[in-house]
Structure 1
Amino acid sequence: MTRRVATLDDVARAAGVSLQTVSRVLNSPNKVAARTQDAVHKAMRELHYVPNRSAQLLAGKVLPAIGLISASLTLHAPSQIAASVKTHPQARGLDVSIAMLNQADYGALQAALAECRAQNIGGAIVNLPLESAMAEQLARDNPDIHCLFLDVPPDSDVASLLFDHQQGCRAIVDHLWGLGHREFGFLAGPESAISARLRLHAWRDALHRNGGHQAITAFGDWSAGSGFIRTVEMLAQQPTLSAIVVANDQMALGVLSALAQLDRREISVTGYDDTPDSQYFQPALTTVAQDFRLLGERAVALLAEPARHHHRLPTRLIVRQSTAPKASAAPRDTLIAQIKALARQL
């Protein structure tokens, strides 16, 4: 037997309010007390009420919504942020309009904000790597849309919500230094990525603070494949590396694969993000956790604040089996022969 579809009248009766109040909650929530909104949203969830969007649009009603302008959702961090941003507004009866851009092109960003404007969206979360000048210009050119940026330099004159990369990167380097490691490889993300540059600078600062200077740097593209290739290249340049610090978990997966093929499992490896799969890598990955659920929740809440505040979220080190005290080095000639053999296969 097919279940009858709940109507607005059903929602009003279950919430103990008038039909007009339910309509205001859907279309003008800022005019309704928070307690009343909660009662209406609770009734909608219990009745599995689904708004008739076509009817609302034909009636000229504005659907309350926020915008999300994101990098490719094929990457872990953007997909997790998008999932969180979708979840929290829905609990409040808001819709989310997502625009996915391949690159941070100003024209494409303006087009995405124009689409937000066409939908009467007054707030947008921008999760693309933007230099300060572009982010600030975007905010100036669109004063009617409150933009919150998730991947900009910390000193940008815009509203931003960023993770504390200094905290996470310092914890990684301090952890490895305490295990006796002195020769580091830093595998950063693309040089065009703001977060990749921030992490690289923070690693170097932490290394210098500990009194270390032995580190080589390579840049990947966030993929496991680039992690594999850059590992072979770094070890060819510096066979005695004892620790490789990686800018995300996906590249770290490639690093671990390369080290296994080279039989260099004694090299410690750290990642960044704490993806759900990282604890099942072989070995389980030591990494920095970023709470994307909290990021989405805070980002949605901050859209209601028009001020250009800078907000930081904490990170924390998760220690697993991919890091260990520095092992005794194998003979240099043996290491070089192993690396050259693998390089010929690439």
Structure 2
Amino acid sequence: MNDAVHEASAPDGGARPATRAVGVREVAALAGVSRQTVSRVLNDHPEVAAATKERVLAAMRELDYRMNNAARALGTKRSHTLGLLASDALQYGPSRSIAAVEAAARAAGYWVSAAFADSGDAASVAAAVVHLQAQGVEGLVVVAPHARTIEALDALEIGVPVVTLHSAAHDARSFSVDQVAGARAAVACLADAGHRRIAHLAGPADWLEAEARRSGYLAELAARGLEPGTIIAGDWTARSGHDATSAVIESGATAVFVANDQMALGLLGGLREAGVDVPGRVSLVGFDDIPDAAYLWPPLTTVRQDFEELAHRAVEAVLAGAAGATVGGAAAGGPGEPGTGEPTEPEFGERIVPELVERASVAPPHP
């Protein structure tokens, strides 16, 4: 049964002790229907008449009935909950993806249960997975920007469909934006403006997307017959961008591809403090298109990632996998509908190609 504890308020505004759980029995009595009919309404059964369904929903509202997903899962084997495991939620890309996954799941009629793990600790990743399994999640979306997180997942028996985000296509379960293509577009923008000495302010070496952006930088230079410029290590923060100012100036580069917009913001400020005009003396291209990028001075040319589309594809795929398969491998129903067999592996599509957003931080090199 789907029961929930209902707490009433005392006349003086204080909380009364918890009363008996308001459950299916009370809803059925108020609506004048059977308990089976209430259960059918809760589980979106198609054969419930519209007027009956509305009467049951009205009774739920009047009684302040709250669905108990754990109880529902016992009866239906389905929790209508997806698990979200994140090994980094502080940086712009992962945080945007986490919010986008929650929105996409909600649009599909699912809740999200989240757990966070230390990417460098396999035991922490395993504990987070166990926690989510205990919630009865029907699928798992993993925001996995570090190779160590993927390695920890590979060692686990998870039992539900799994997709990963921000793994730069290094994982067979990955849904990703094409980081290499984005980096090549950024370098191409600078080269097309006439720059031949292009430096790279890179992200942390243990991030898969930082590695992919560096690879794209080198690939585009090689394709154009240009020598690699100075590569400077950053840590995604504006401070590390600011700290890279001296290295950029000493490199003699006339342009810099910066691996994210936060570092570009810091470098922009550092160059201004050093009396180096952007884009008059040094051109900059960032990555991510953070909301502030259009309002920096000069407005930042950058690479935009479609996090919403990425999350939509991932959630759609993991739900399709959770739906299971019939004999012979045909999918049983659409996303969110129960299948007749074991969960299947999600189908992975093409990587999303990011978009270059041209603003005012790029100009031809100074004579």
Query: TM-score under structure 1 normalisation?
Result: 0.77
Q: Which structure's CA Rg is the greater one?
A: 2
Task: State the match for 1:181 in structure 2.
Answer: 195
Which residue type is aligned with residue 85 of structure 1? V
TM-superposed CA distance for 1:307, in Å, is 2.7
Q: For 1:213 and 1:202, how far apart are their aligned partners in 2?
A: 14
Instruction: Note the residue ranges of structure 2 that are not aligned, 5 or more in a row.
Output: 1-23, 32-36, 322-343
Taking the aligned partners of 1:276 and 1:210, their CA distance within structure 2 comes to 32
Pairing 1:110–2:149 present: no
Bigger helix share: 1
SS in 2 for 1:142: coil
Q: Kindly tell me: are residues 229 and 51 of structure 1, through their superposed partners in 2, closer, same or farther at Cα, counting changes over 3 Å?
A: farther
Structure 1 runs of 4+ with >6 Å offset: none
8 Å CA contact 2:317, 2:346 repeated in 1: no
> For the residues of structure 1 that align with 2:156 and 2:69, how far apart are their CA atoms?
30
Aligned match for 1:317, one of 338, 343, 356: 356
The residue that corresponds to 1:260 in the other structure is 272
Q: For the aligned residues, what is the CA RMSD? A: 3.2
Residue 219 of structure 1: CA displacement? 1.3
Which of 226, 230, 238 aligns to 1:216? It is: 230
Q: 1:121 maps to which residue?
A: 137
Kindly indicate whether residue 138 of structure 2 is the aligned counterpart of residue 141 of structure 1: no
- The corresponding residue for 1:71 is 87
Letter in 2 for 1:226: S
| Unpaired stretches in structure 1, ≥5 consecutive residues | 1-6, 13-17, 26-30, 329-346
SS in 2 for 1:163: coil
CA deviations on 1:99-141 (whole Å, 9 max, x unpaired) are 123434221111111011101113111112243x863662462
Aligned length: 300
- The residue identity in structure 2 corresponding to 1:288 is V
- Give the alignment partner of residue 151 of structure 1, picking from 166, 191, 202: 166
Residues 197-253 of structure 1, C-alpha deviations (whole Å, 9 max, x = no match) = 0000111010110110040101111000001101222323x1x21001111111110
Q: Which residue of 1 aligns with 2:263?
A: 251
Counterparts in 2 of 1:227 and 1:134: CA distance versus 1, 3 Å: closer
Aligned to 2:288: 273
Match of 2:39 among 20, 43, 46: 20
Which residue does the alignment assign to 2:101?
A: 85
Task: Check if 1:326 corresponds to 2:326.
Answer: no
What is the TM-score of this pair, normalised by structure 2? 0.73
How far is the alpha carbon of 1:82 from its aligned partner?
A: 1.0
**Counterpart-to-counterpart distance in 2, 1:69 and 1:180:** 44
CA distance in 2, matches of 1:249, 1:81: 16
The one-letter code sitting in structure 2 at the alignment partner of 1:206 is: E
Q: 1:96: how far off?
A: 0.4
Letter in 2 for 1:208: A
Aligned mates of 1:318, 1:145 — CA distance in 2: 38
Aligned equivalents of 1:24 and 1:95: distance in 2? 15
Match of 2:335 in 1: none
